[in-house]
Amino acid sequence: MSRETHSPKMAGTPHTDATSKQDERFAEGQRITWVSVGVNVVLTTMQLVVGFIAHSQSLIADAMHTLSDIVADAFVLFANRKGAEAADADHPYGHGRFETAASLVLGLLLAGTGIGILIAAAGRLQDIGNAPPVGVAAMWAAVFTLIAKEGLFRYMLATAERLRSPMLVANAWHARADALSSLVVAAGIAGALFGFTFADAVAAIIVGAMIVRAGLKFGWAAIRELIDTGLSAEEVAAIRNTIATTPGVLGLHELRTRRMAHQVLVDAHVQVNPRISVSEGHRIAEAARQRVLDSHPEVLDVLVHVDAENDLLGNAATLLPDRNFLLEHLRTLLDADPPDFERTTLHYLGTRVEAEIFLPPGFADEAGIARIRQRLEASLPSDPWFITIHLNQRIAPK
């Protein structure tokens, strides 16, 4: 058996192209995050000022939600920069997991913000009779915020999906959660303006619940990636088909996948003809690996383990003696010295071994070959190690 391992730099495209794409991805991530920071700073300032002046708790809650976006964007900027760093000795697969960690922090931040809003809104409902009336300015601020955040969401999501970055997708949906919460805030303020004084506090509670739900969703997705949850059944089936249809692959088992930020790592055991050469088995493994990289662009690297047999059924070959022991045993069986052979190939198959022996010209005449055959016919049926021995004699000089 052999194990084919390769660095991510060799994964399908030249290293210069991969570096260029990584630089482009980093620049795009930085740009949309700074746009988000700028928009959120303006909105937070406006919401806080108008919220206090117009006595709207839901608008202030939305402002705190927006403020959490600014903190979240700081995490994204840091993680995006770290995730763009090249692989090194300590991180041979790159730094993509920084994005996953940032997604987890974003989820926790959202959940914490939502819980705080819920507590504050519940307190206001308990004292709703003493709450001051909500001003009309709060309504205009909520509508402006809704439009700005919906536009920001659409811009961020389009870029994040093109870059296939779960961290940026999470941040984009964070902006959509803000837009939806601003819609609820606008409805609550409208209700308060029409005389339903509790509507503003109810809107704040709904916003808080939406934020908690979004935070738990993104946090759980990040945790699943950190504990190496595999791809979906459909994605695994597609990769399985790509490997199984590679010429020379007789079987496939132990196909394992895991995500690392926007990319995927794949491990697979392929079964090949047990009598082919090591170099041919290596070529089949290389072909299977390259087919996956070409057909599934989200895959960063593939580790292919070559099996002569289906080791899911057991690997009895590990219990067999090593080469030196078996060559000495051959010497006893053939009454000849194996170093005199040109080449000896051993095939470990199940619980026994097949041997192919290549003899030089003149090693033995027909009578000598007949004596060797008789010795083998007498000893092989009861031999504990060999099931078959093939003798090949070259009849012409090299």
262: pLDDT strictly greater than 70: no
Placement of tokens 């939502």 in the chain = 114
SS3 category, 304: strand
Contact 206, 300 (CB under 8 A): no
Residue 173 to residues 106, 111, 138, 148, 204, Cα–Cα distance (Å): 11, 14, 24, 14, 19
Please give the Cα distance from 232 to 124 (Å, whole number): 45
Counts for the chain of helices (H) and strands (E), in that order = 10, 7
User: 307: which strand partners?
Assistant: 271
The pLDDT value given to residue 176 = 76
Mean predicted confidence (pLDDT) in 80-106: 69
pLDDT tens column, 275-288: 888 899 999 999 99
Candidates 24, 163, 152, 177; CA nearest to 99 is 163
pLDDT in tens, 150-198: 888 888 888 887 777 776 777 777 777 777 778 888 888 888 888 787 8
Domains along the sequence of the chain with CATH: 2-226 (1.20.1510.10), 233-312 (3.30.70.1350), 317-393 (3.30.300)
Find the range with the poorest average confidence among 2-16, 92-106, 201-215, 308-322. 2-16
User: What does the pLDDT read at residue 10?
Assistant: 45
Radius of gyration of the chain (CA): 34
**Residues 67, 68, 73: CA angle, nearest 5 degrees:** 100
Does residue 217 carry a pLDDT above 70? Answer: yes
User: How confident is the model over 258-268, as a mean pLDDT?
Assistant: 83
Dihedral sign of CA atoms 303, 244, 315, 330 in order: negative
DSSP for 352-395 reads EEEEEEEEPTTS--HHHHHHHHHHHHHHGGG-SSEEEEEEEE--
What pLDDT sits at residue 215?
A: 83
Q: Which of the listed ranges 12-21, 59-68, 229-238 does the model predict with the highest average pLDDT?
A: 229-238
- pLDDT at res. 4: 46
> Which of 4-8, 111-115, 236-240 shows the highest mean pLDDT?
236-240
Average pLDDT in the 300-304 region?
89
- pTM of the predicted model as reported, rounded to 2 decimal places: 0.57
| Secondary structure (DSSP) of 253-274 | EEEEEEEETTEEEEEEEEE--T
**231 φ/ψ angles, rounded to the nearest 5 degrees:** -70, 170
Q: Which of 49-63, 94-108, 116-130 has the highest mean pLDDT?
A: 49-63
Band of residue 290 on the pLDDT scale cut at 50, 70, 90: very high
Strands, E, within the chain: which ranges? 2-4, 251-260, 263-271, 299-307, 343-349, 352-359, 386-393
Reported as a single tens digit per residue, the pLDDT across 24-68 is: 666 777 787 788 888 888 988 998 899 888 888 778 877 877 777
Instruction: State which amino acid sits at residue 162.
Output: R
Look at residue 226 in the predicted model and tell me its pLDDT.
77
